Structure 1
């Protein structure tokens, strides 16, 4: 991975952790629900990025 990709991943994880920790100070069940929803959204985003990368590699091998 490139430097900016690592930096983006790190900032995303830190932001996610801070958001959930802040919500946990208010209400632990709300924090757990938000954490679950955000993890599902993040997994969906990663899945789309991997699929796009596989399509890119497939197109490069054809041409």
Structure 2
């Protein structure tokens, strides 16, 4: 569980550093990079959610 939290935090840190680095060169380009990265992350989360088995129902 600690590795999951650590990987999530490092992913956010890396995302922020990439966007900040691009913003030092060109602010509109940083907005484009941030949008593309968030779209890619949303697609990754969608695939991960689809791969999870459905919850078991008790009854």
The TM-score normalised by the length of structure 1 is 0.81
Aligned-partner Cα distance in 2 for 1:4–1:20: 24
Superposition RMSD in Å? 1.2
Quote how far apart the aligned CAs of 1:48 are.
0.7
Find the residue that maps to 1:40 and give its secondary structure: helix
Structure 2 matches for 1:36-47, cutoff 5 A? 36-47=35-46
Structure 2: stretches of 5+ with no match in the other structure: none
Query: What are the within-5 Å matches in structure 2 for residues 1-63 of structure 1?
Result: 2-53=1-52, 56-57=53-54, 61=56
Task: Note the residue ranges of structure 1 that are not aligned, 5 or more in a row.
Answer: none
